[in-house]
Amino acid sequence: MWDFIAERHRQILYDGFQHVYLVVLAVVAATVIAVLLAMLVTKVPRLGGVTNMLSAIGLTIPGFALVGLLMPATGIGSTTAFICVCFYAVLPILRNAVVGLQGVEPVLLESARGMGMGEAAVMARVRLPLAWPVILAGIRVSLQMSMGIAAIAAYVLGPGLGSYIFSGLAQIGGKNALNYALVGTLGVVVLALILDLLLVLVGRVTIPKGIRV
């Protein structure tokens, strides 16, 4: 296996970078979408039930099924992979963002309004900072899940390490079948752990000590 990696280390590193780039880009887009939707739900509480239902349904859709649904519209390649990863990435962040924003103590909100803050200021300076630990927890879950979904997206020639897994499965019984599968699988796991560690550090920097768990 080490010879296999040594011969292909540059390509493996490049594909690993592509995998991380796809996931990070999708999760950033998903975070923006999820937080905006959560802010809307906070303004219109009756949408909360609908949001939870859609999130639950979305998580039951198999990755391969979603890829198959997207292919006729977006074709094969990075666009389909990005949409697929972003779709799944939104769901856990949206749930946590709704819980976090709705969980802010009403007393704190009334105090902020009493100080003359408008609704936009209350959202930006009170709700979002206090909800951030919960939102970040959702982002961590989303990131881990997205690393696996991005591997599945290699089925439509999406970038990343998933192609190694599919190559290994296609060559079962061949000389390098196991090497391909292990490099793809272990690569995804290692990168997922590194990204999660980075998010833990982000939390240490961005979450005030007073509300840190």
How far is residue 71 from each of residues 105, 109, 129, 207, measured CA to CA in Å? 45, 46, 39, 40
61 assigned to some structural domain: yes
For the cut 70, the answer to whether the pLDDT of residue 213 exceeds it is no
101 assigned to some structural domain: yes
pLDDT value of position 144 = 95
212 assigned to some structural domain: no
Provide the terminal-to-terminal Cα distance of the chain, rounded to the nearest Å: 42
91 assigned to some structural domain: yes
C-alpha 42/C-alpha 34 separation (Å) is 12
Q: Is 158 helix (H, G, I), strand (E, B) or coil?
A: coil
Backbone angles phi, psi at 212, to 5 degrees: -75, 135
With a pLDDT cut of 70, the percent of the chain lying above it is 99
**Range 27-56 average pLDDT:** 91
State the CATH number of the domain containing residue 5. 1.10.3720.10
Helix 162-170 × helix 128-152 angle, to 10°: 30
pLDDT value of position 212 = 66
Task: Count CA atoms within 13 Å of residue 206 on its CB side.
Answer: 16
213 assigned to some structural domain: no
Residues 6+ apart with CB under 8 A from 39: 101, 123
Higher pLDDT, 22 or 209: 22
For the cut 90, the answer to whether the pLDDT of residue 190 exceeds it is yes
For the cut 90, the answer to whether the pLDDT of residue 139 exceeds it is yes
Banded pLDDT at 172 (limits 50, 70, 90) = confident
211 assigned to some structural domain: no
Range of the structural domain that residue 104 is part of: 1-206
Radius of gyration of the chain (CA): 20
What does the pLDDT look like over 111-129, one tens digit per residue?
998 998 998 999 999 999 9
C-alpha 16/C-alpha 35 separation (Å) is 28
Number of domains in the chain: 1
pLDDT value of position 137 = 96
187 assigned to some structural domain: yes
- Cβ atoms of 31 and 119 closer than 8 Å: no
Burial of 8 (0-12, 13-18, 19+ CB in 10 A): middle
**Range 42-65 average pLDDT:** 86
What does the pLDDT look like over 140-159, one tens digit per residue?
999 999 999 999 988 888 89
The size of the chain, in residues, is 213
For the cut 90, the answer to whether the pLDDT of residue 54 exceeds it is no
C-alpha 138/C-alpha 132 separation (Å) is 10
Residues 6+ apart with CB under 8 A from 31: 89, 93, 135, 139, 142
Does the reported pTM lie above 0.85?
A: yes
100 assigned to some structural domain: yes
